[in-house]
Amino acid sequence: MKEIKIESTLYIYQNLDELPKEAIELMQQAFEARENAYAPYSSFSVGAALLLDSGEVITGNNQENASYPSGLCAERTAIYYAGAQYPKAKIIRMAITAGSKKTQTTKPIPPCGACRQAIAEYEIKQNAPIEIYFMGETGKVAKSNSLANLLPLVFDKSVL
Ligand code: THU
């Protein structure tokens, strides 16, 4: 038996103002996208913004459904749109903000496992890391230089 250790690195910023200017701008677009979330069942709204290598920004938000599992998270709404509309573009950076309409979220909220898997697919497809910034409504912001840090032991095409 051999033990293996898996390490991930995240950077924690004290607040939005500490981020590089281009990341602040992308996060602001995630906040705007979050305003249009359709989340009548959970009252938890999420906004995501993706910067493409063309300079274009794609945004998405969570879309819920009376048949709960039919809904989709903000991150996948955005990334599948980017994949569908701009299949050749590379995604440089992603900003995510999430929070309940009932309470104020002050800590970084990471993307769910299914979204990490979806983002991983595009990171592998484009063979270049996607920077990910995520936060709640206010407070600290977490940054990962690559999705790979958020999903060790990814399931990918190499096993198919
Ligand atoms: N949600 C997202 O949009 N992204 C995530 O990474 C986690 C969860 C949405 C799905 C659902 O509409 C609501 O948040 C509560 O789970």
Distances (CA, A) of 15 to 1, 35, 57, 133: 43, 20, 22, 12
Ligand 1: residue whose CA is nearest its atom 10:
73
Q: Is residue 15 part of a domain?
A: no
Ligand 1: residue whose CA is nearest its atom 8:
73
Token pair recorded at residue 115 = 């979204």
Q: Is residue 158 part of a domain?
A: no
Closest Cα to residue 93, out of 25, 12, 16, 4?
Answer: 25
Q: Is residue 99 part of a domain?
A: yes
CATH number of the domain within which 113 lies: 3.40.140.10
Q: How confident is the model at residue 35 (pLDDT cuts 50, 70, 90)?
A: very high
- Number of domains forming the structure of the chain: 1
Q: Is residue 5 part of a domain?
A: no
Q: State the chain's mean pLDDT as an integer.
A: 97
Q: Which of 9-18, 51-60, 96-105, 137-146 has the lowest mean pLDDT?
A: 96-105
pLDDT tens digits, one per residue of 150-160: 999 999 999 99
* Long-range contacts (CB closer than 8 Å, 24 or more residues apart) made by 54-62: 54/86, 54/89, 56/86, 56/89, 57/26, 57/29, 58/82, 58/85, 58/86, 59/29, 59/30, 59/32, 59/33, 60/33, 61/33, 61/34, 61/35, 61/36, 61/37, 62/37, 62/38
**103 residue type, one letter:** T
- Of ligand 1's listed atoms, the one at least distance from the Cα of 46 is 3
pLDDT tens digits, one per residue of 131-142: 999 999 999 999
Ligand 1: residue whose CA is nearest its atom 7:
112
Kindly tell me if the per-residue pLDDT of 14 is higher than 90: yes
pTM value surpassing 0.85: yes
For this structure, is 56 an active site residue? no
Q: Is residue 117 part of a domain?
A: yes
Q: Is residue 8 part of a domain?
A: no
Best mutation site among 41, 42, 62 for ligand 1 pocket (most ligand atoms within 8 Å of CB): 62
Output the pLDDT for position 100. 95
| C-alpha 81 – ligand 1 centre gap (Å) | 17
- Of ligand 1's listed atoms, the one at least distance from the Cα of 111 is 6
Best mutation site among 31, 41, 44 for ligand 1 pocket (most ligand atoms within 8 Å of CB): 44
Output the pLDDT for position 101. 85
Ligand 1: residue whose CA is nearest its atom 9:
73
Q: Is residue 51 part of a domain?
A: yes
pLDDT tens digits, one per residue of 53-95: 999 999 999 999 999 999 999 999 999 999 999 999 999 999 9
Kindly tell me if the per-residue pLDDT of 3 is higher than 90: yes
Q: Is residue 10 part of a domain?
A: no
Q: How big is the chain, counted in residues? A: 160
Which residues constitute the domain of residue 106? 20-152
For the chain, what percent of residues have pLDDT higher than 70?
100
